[in-house]
Amino acid sequence: MRLEWLEDILAVVETGSFIKAAEGRCLTQSAFSRRIRLIESHVGAELFDRARKPVELKAAVRDRYQDIAELAAGLRTLTNGLRHQGRETQKRIVIASQHAITTFIAPSLVQRLLVSRELDIRLRSANREDCYALLLTRQADIVLLYATERHPLAVESSFVEPHTLGSESLIPVFMASGVSTLEEQYKRGELPVVIYPKGVFLGRVLSDEILPRLRGVTSFSPKAETALTLAALQLALIGVAVAWVPETLAREYLLSQRLMDLRSTLGSQHLDLIAVRLKGTKTQTEEEVWKMILSHAPEHLCASSPASEAILE
């Protein structure tokens, strides 16, 4: 039985709701439900009485609740002790970041960390919810995440320590040599776009915050869907459709004029870059790395590319 499984069970018991437990574990409801089913399949029996509101453990399992809580606490203490001892000996730090951050920002941050001292940095890439889950299950020491005003990072301040490192923009870009064709479509109220799945952070930002603000567009034509900003960037580079990508990722192609920045017409979306860690006792290495991250914000975040004139009229 894995520690995160025990913590999933306890989260349902404490909240009395699969929905609230999923939110507390920073998972989508469907992902959390699949994990509960996986736990029950592993155990070979149903654990919860789903007909009751709030949800409760089944009677036979309820008698073992204290055993589950004590086992989870013991495993948590043991895991933390072994992990901290091993990482301090090896100077190992695990950083998890959203895919969009891993592509450009995280590597430069890792490079700057390695300049000052010898470290073994393990960089993991995942969706925002999965990154936060890695932190909560102590598989990552620090996570790097994006947030917007409408889609903030919902954290429990009593045991999580967030810090805003800087900000950048999610901007619309398209192949520079194909803008004239795009302009004809735009005049007809049409806009070919690369979309992100609605189940991921950037998908929610695109559908909830960006597309509803566009004026003059009566028809959005999704040409491709991808969860990876690097793939979206490439689709824009070859003229498939307009893609909204982090400005840091597109800057090189904007400066070389392979991509056209369309934010003057289509707008942009502010993104906050946030570093998060769990509160509690830290190893010397963990504390030093955290201070270094806070004192040296990632390069290129706040510097904007030259402003483009309105292209689509």
Average pLDDT over residues 284-289: 88
Distance CA 259, CA 241 (A): 12
> Which distant-in-sequence residues (6+ apart) come within 8 Å of 149 by Cβ?
270
Statement: residue 38 has pLDDT above 50: yes
pLDDT (0 to 100) of residue 90: 60
Kindly report the backbone phi and psi dihedral angles of residue 283, in degrees, each rounded to the nearest multiple of 5, phi listed first: -75, 165
- C-alpha distances (whole Å) from 154 to each of 24, 74, 146, 147 are 9, 27, 12, 9
Kindly report the backbone phi and psi dihedral angles of residue 125, in degrees, each rounded to the nearest multiple of 5, phi listed first: -125, 135
Please give the residue that has the higher pLDDT: either 45 or 212: 212
- Which 3-state string (H, E, C) describes 50-109? CCCCCCEECHHHHCCHHHHHHHHHHHHHHHHHHHHHHHHHHCEEEEEEEHHHHHHHHHHH
Residue ranges of domains in the chain, CATH in brackets: 3-80 (1.10.10.10), 90-165+273-295 (3.40.190.10), 168-270 (3.40.190.10)
DSSP states of 103-144: HHHHHHHHHHHHHHS--EEEEEEE-HHHHHHHHHTTS-SEEE
pLDDT (0 to 100) of residue 303: 47
Confidence of residue 244 (pLDDT cuts 50, 70, 90): very high
Q: Which tens digit of pLDDT belongs to each residue from 111-166? A: 888 887 788 899 999 999 889 888 888 889 999 999 999 999 877 667 789 999 99
Please give the residue that has the higher pLDDT: either 24 or 302: 24
Q: Which tens digit of pLDDT belongs to each residue from 205-235? A: 999 999 888 877 778 889 999 999 999 999 9
- C-alpha distances (whole Å) from 271 to each of 150, 237, 288, 294 are 11, 22, 26, 18
Q: Which tens digit of pLDDT belongs to each residue from 95-108? A: 999 999 998 899 88
